[in-house]
Structure 1
Amino acid sequence: MTSEQPELRGIDLARRALEEARAAAKANGKSVGQGRASPVRRLRAGGRKYSGWSGAGPDQRDPQLLASLTGSIAKSRGWSGRVAEGMVFGRWPSVVGEDIASHATPLTLEGGVLKIAAESTAWATQLRMLQPQILAKIAAAVGNGVVTSLRITGPQAPSWRKGERHIKGRGPRDTYG
């Protein structure tokens, strides 16, 4: 009679496969440790060697905030100026305050000159008087030199010009009376 081994299933099959893998590794001269391996990592060639796990305090290996990562990427690629310009438009209410932002809209930023459209002529006049304070708020939020001066305009009046051709003069008002 032949002695047949029972068919292995589940955990027994996994244990046997593990024992065979360990025996094969020993035969090849590799040591197989029990338990968890030490997290010794080498960064690129010549990099620092970290041994052990990260402690309770912050470490370079910890997950980073997206804002700090994007800032460092923008700085390394020379995009800092463009990012700062974008922050003026993207964070306008937090940069100048909710009250000013509800009555004024930034239009363009070219060569350090920020063009702002006010909702009324009264607000345009008020913003012109507050210009030094607005420039200080922008410099504090996005950095010095991003915005050097402001050009504040009131609302645009409707144009009486219709069509491609135009004759100089007062327009439709000169035909009355």
Structure 2
Amino acid sequence: MTDDDGPAQGTPAAGEPELRGVDLARRALEEARAAARASGKAVGQGRASPRKGGVRALRGRRGWSGAGPDQRDPQTLGSLTGALAKSRGWSGRVAEGTVFGRWPNVVGEDIAAHATPVSLTDGVLSVQAESTAWATQLRLLQGQLLAKINAAVGQGVVTSLRISGPAAPSWRKGERHIKGRGPRDTYG
């Protein structure tokens, strides 16, 4: 730099001590403020001051939230989606989806390994068991299963269970067949 530009920033002028650390930062801040005043822009202008109502007026805040929960606190994604589903009238469909999507968590791993929900129509949940023995066992536990399902998804979503065993094998072979039992009626 030349002499007519003045001393470089951070280098001492004649008779001044060399500035370091905090003193250098303080001097740079003072020079920046002076440049801002010279350009006509007041220091601190351009950002809203919370004391003058700028940010508070935009956000509608009044004071601190305090120790208790508040709507301004961070919310979990589950609570936000639940509130959205409730406001849009999707709560029933979400509860139905919970029955199918979280079946092992709702009824337990043992039962879920041997039974699968098939459909939910007008509060009647159709469950298909892997064997007739499991279907019988689930019919005996029907009251407890309904209590578990209602605790997980809410009252009224599932009002009753229709439990069925596996489908019987079909004896029909080929495209053409006759009505009735056919050749099996000669066994025995």
TM-score (norm 1): 0.75
Distance 1:5-1:153 versus aligned 2 partners, 3 A rule: same
CA contact (8 A) 1:95 1:138 kept: yes
Query: Which runs of 5 or more residues in structure 2 are unaligned?
Result: 10-24
**Residues 52-63 of structure 1: matches in 2 within 5 Å?**
52=64, 54-55=65-66, 57-63=68-74
Q: Does 1:145 align with 2:160?
A: no
| Alignment match of 1:66 (pick from 68, 71, 77) | 77
Q: Give the fraction of aligned pairs with identical amino acids, expressed as a percent.
A: 70
CA distance in 2, matches of 1:164, 1:134: 42
What displacement does 1:121 show?
0.1
Shift of 1:160: 2.6
Q: 2:41 aligns with which of 25, 41, 60?
A: 25
Q: Name the aligned partner's letter for residue 72 of structure 1.
A: A
- Which residues of structure 1 form unaligned runs of 5+? none
Match of 1:51 in 2: 63
Contact 1:160–1:172 at 8 Å: present in 2 too? no
Which residue, 103, 113, 127 being the options, matches 1:116? 127
**Match of residue 4 from structure 2:** 3
2:90 pairs, out of 79, 83, 104, with 79
Distance 1:136 1:3 in 2: 89
TM-score under structure 2 length normalisation: 0.71
Instruction: Report the equivalent of 1:131.
Output: 142
Structure with the largest fraction of helix: 2
Equivalent in the alignment of 1:41 = 56
Q: Which has the higher mean CA deviation after the structures are superposed, 156-165 or 138-147?
A: 156-165
Aligned mates of 2:182, 2:58 — CA distance in 1: 74
Give the whole-Å Cα distance in 2 for the aligned partners of 1:156 and 1:95: 25
**DSSP 3-state at the match of 1:41:** helix
Q: Secondary structure of the equivalent of 1:145?
A: coil
Q: Does 1:157 align with 2:168?
A: yes
1:38 CA drift (Å): 3.4
Supply the distance in 1 between the matched residues of 2:101 and 2:116 (Cα, whole angstroms). Answer: 11
Deviations 1:32-84 (A, max 9, x none): 27xx953843467xxx43335x5554332221111111100000000000000
Partner of 2:115: 104
**Structure with larger Rg:** 2
Q: Is the 8 A contact 1:114 1:149 kept in 2?
A: yes
Cα–Cα, structure 1 residues 78 and 18, in superposed 2: closer, same or farther, change >3 Å?
Answer: farther
Give the alignment's Cα RMSD to 1 decimal.
Answer: 3.5
